[in-house]
Structure 1
Amino acid sequence: MIKGLYAAASAMITGVYRQQAVAHDIANVDTPGFKQILTSLNEFDKTSAYTQSGLTNKDQIAYLGNMGLGVMAAPETTDFTQGTLKNTDSPLDLAISGTGFFRIRTPEGDRFTRDGRFSKDANGQLVTVDGHLVLSSSGQPIKLAEGNPTISTNGDIYINGVASGKIGVAFFADLSTLTRTAENTFTSTATPATTGGGTVLQSTLEQSNVDSAQLMTQMIEISRSYQAAQQMVQNQDELLGKAISTLGRVS
């Protein structure tokens, strides 16, 4: 009975976790370059259940089978599927078609992102929408002179026809080495390559890869599962109360 209570409670806890992840994805449906968070569940290790064989054989123990103890949230993963590419009017809006990540520098260290909403700050440096420095292929901040920027598909920057650096793009053979550090940035345990299968597109932004219709369906399913687990907790609590009342009654 207690085990049933634990199992139902664990389902409620994981339901809250999944609901938070889905809500986070829905909130970022319009965030350029955002990658959907994927959640899944794991079972707790099962335990073997035994019982006495009967009133006449109290010393004999019968094996009933394995008993589940509920579920827990598995480590979240990321869907790195490319989002839709959309043209913009800004020459500093960039997207990567194919694989690869822009290299940026934050106060916490160098990071990787697919969000190409870039602009020029007061010092003439190329920065992200959050004010982080965009790095060149050599890992240095990019300073832009005055003029009209043209950026080639391999990331070369030209200002009024004069070469002015190259956008740093990092490529990872194994995307599982990437860990989300903020809504739209990642770090990695692997050393990235500087060449790969992606090309840089100017005046373009990659849209979020979140499927809002699918997530709304998931949210309904999660809500129903949570309600079912909640009802199970109430039922288990009532049964436990009756058992205590019955056992405590003096005949």
Structure 2
Amino acid sequence: MWRGLYTAGAGMITETKRTDTIANNLANANTTGFKRDDAISREFEPMLIKRINDGKNLNNVTSFKQFSVGESIPTVGVLGLGSRIDEIATDHTQGGFQTTGNPLDVAISGDGYFAIQTPQGVRYTRDGNFYRSSRGQLQTVRGQAVLGTNNQPITIPGDAAKVTIGAKGEIMADGQRVGQLQLTSFGPDRRAVLKQGDNLYYPQQGAQPQAATGEIYQGMLENSNTNVVSEMVNLINNYRIYEAGSKAVTTQDTLLDKSVNEVGRV
């Protein structure tokens, strides 16, 4: 019975973490460039159950502590021991585009990330909602500098009347080239970059940056790839599973109560 409590409890913990993941997806449904997460669960190693006291002659000289030498023990079946969250996997599928008309808004179609200078070092993002600071530096909404292909911040002259950004990130101010956005890829391995927070990613140890194959569209932003309806369905389904685990815990507790207070009294 104790195993039943632990198994049901482990399942409830797993579904709690899955609920947190779904809630985070819903909270970022309108976050530019956000990529939804999936909580992937894994079963603990199951236990093979056998009957150890079924029709044996325990007085046999080959018997020791309820086990008999050379005797085939009937198999009952496999007992599951619960589950756990094995990985929080990020879904990197392309989000839809939204036209803004702002010349400093850019979206990536296909593979690639923008390089951002942060206090923790260079980080990467799909959020192309950029602004020009009072000093003319191209920055994110959090005031972090956007890096060019020379790994330096990009500066746009304050008196520039027209700013255009090409498909490969070339920035032209009144017809003069002032820099090029660094568009970085880490190859086909989707686990090469991990989420840091604030819509930023950092590369795993050993991940090598390379030139991306995606294209940049000016005056557009990439929406979150979260599907609100799908996430709500997952949330409801997750609640039902958690509720089933809760009922299993209650049932196991009732059986233990009867075993201790009624069967034990006899």
TM-score normalised by the chain length of structure 2:
0.89
Is the Cα contact below 8 Å between 1:35 and 1:209 reproduced in 2?
Answer: yes
Look up the SS of the partner of 1:217 in the other structure: helix
Q: Does 1:64 align with 2:54?
A: no
Give, in whole Å, the separation in 2 of the partners of 1:72 and 1:212.
Answer: 25
Q: Could you give the per-residue CA deviations for residues 14-41 of structure 1, whole angstroms, max 9, x where no partner exists?
A: 1110101001000100111000011121
Is the Cα contact below 8 Å between 1:177 and 1:188 reproduced in 2?
Answer: yes
Aligned to 2:115: 103
Shift of 1:205: 0.2
TM-score normalised by the chain length of structure 1:
0.95
Give, in whole Å, the separation in 1 of the partners of 2:260 and 2:81.
Answer: 22
Gaps of 5+ in 2: 59-65, 68-72
- After TM superposition, the structure 1 = structure 2 runs for residues 31-70 of structure 1, keeping only pairs within 5 Å, are 31-54=31-54, 56-58=56-58, 59-60=66-67, 62-70=74-82
Shift of 1:247: 4.2
After superposing on structure 2, the runs of 4+ consecutive aligned residues of structure 1 that deviate more than 4 Å are: none
Look up the SS of the partner of 1:140 in the other structure: coil
Aligned to 1:131: 143
Give, in whole Å, the separation in 2 of the partners of 1:56 and 1:102.
Answer: 71
Match of 2:182 among 165, 168, 185: 168
Aligned to 1:7: 7
Is the Cα contact below 8 Å between 1:34 and 1:183 reproduced in 2?
Answer: no
Q: Could you give the per-residue CA deviations for residues 138-188 of structure 1, whole angstroms, max 9, x where no partner exists?
A: 211111112121111111111100010100110121222111111411111
- Identity, in percent, stands at 36
Q: Which amino acid aligns with 2:208?
A: T
Q: 1:56 to 1:171 in 2, by over 3 A?
A: closer
Look up the SS of the partner of 1:176 in the other structure: coil
Q: Does 1:81 align with 2:81?
A: no
Shift of 1:69: 0.4
Deviates more, 1:216-225 or 1:239-248: 239-248
Shift of 1:62: 4.1
Over aligned residues, Cα RMSD in angstroms?
A: 1.4
Q: 1:245 to 1:145 in 2, by over 3 A?
A: same
Give, in whole Å, the separation in 1 of the partners of 2:84 and 2:55.
Answer: 38
Q: Does 1:213 align with 2:225?
A: no
Q: 1:56 to 1:246 in 2, by over 3 A?
A: farther
Give, in whole Å, the separation in 2 of the partners of 1:45 and 1:76.
Answer: 20
Aligned to 1:192: 209
Is the Cα contact below 8 Å between 1:102 and 1:113 reproduced in 2?
Answer: yes
Shift of 1:105: 1.2
Gaps of 5+ in 1: none
Is the Cα contact below 8 Å between 1:53 and 1:62 reproduced in 2?
Answer: no
Is the Cα contact below 8 Å between 1:102 and 1:170 reproduced in 2?
Answer: yes
